[in-house]
Chains A and B, each alone.
Chain A
Amino acid sequence: GESVGLHLPTLSVQEGDNSIINCAYSNSASDYFIWYKQESGKGPQFIIDIRSNMDKRQGQRVTVLLNKTVKHLSLQIAATQPGDSAVYFCAENIRVGGGADGLTFGKGTHLIIQP
């Protein structure tokens, strides 16, 4: 089922500005979250992850924030560049059966960079 969603299907930002992409999840038992980036014609690529025992994690130009109280996840991209143009998906872990750990994905936000 769709337990992970996104607030906006499209986000347009100026090059050089910071971008914030939001995600809501509904499964309070989820303990692991990931952001993926999918460029046109390619498969999703891992950007950054966070476990539920953290509320913030930073990577290179990206930060993920987790608010478990309101079940909200966000991805912040600093100094957005043309190469950041892509669809961004959040995902949360679920137990899919047979002991496997699987992921449920949000529908994605298309980040558009304006020159």
Chain B
Amino acid sequence: DVKVTQSSRYLVKRTGEKVFLECVQDMDHENMFWYRQDPGLGLRLIYFSYDVKMKEKGDIPEGYSVSREKKERFSLILESASTNQTSMYLCASSSGGADYGYTFGSGTRLTVV
């Protein structure tokens, strides 16, 4: 089975902290994505990467950065966490080939206090 693993299910961080959310996929997928999910707003794309060391901004990149040093790992970084970044964060990967579908991780629910 394709697996996308997010390192934490729940996180509580303080305002101003630097936060790392980790995502690992085991299917040699080229593309990886970070979304946040909020009630009434659906899934919004933060950043994505289509290759190692490559990254592209999504729809809401402000306050976030990413790192992709290895193909299987895509990290989302909150440089200085704020309360409006309290959300569910979902990582996904895809092969980018004929099968465009994503495989999602289980999500990380981040609370910033």
Contact = CB atoms under 8 A, between A and B. Distances in A.
B44 to A, nearest CB: 9
A21 B73 CA distance: 35
A102 B48 contact: yes
Interface in A1-27: 1-2
Interface size range of chain A in the complex: 20 to 34
Contact of A97 (B33, B56, B105): B56
A100 B31 contact: yes
A106 B103 contact: no
A16 B94 CA distance: 34
Interface of B: 4, 30-31, 33, 40-43, 45, 48, 50-51, 54, 56, 58-59, 90, 92, 94, 96, 100-107
Interface of A: 1-2, 32, 34, 36, 41-46, 49, 89, 93, 96-103, 105-108
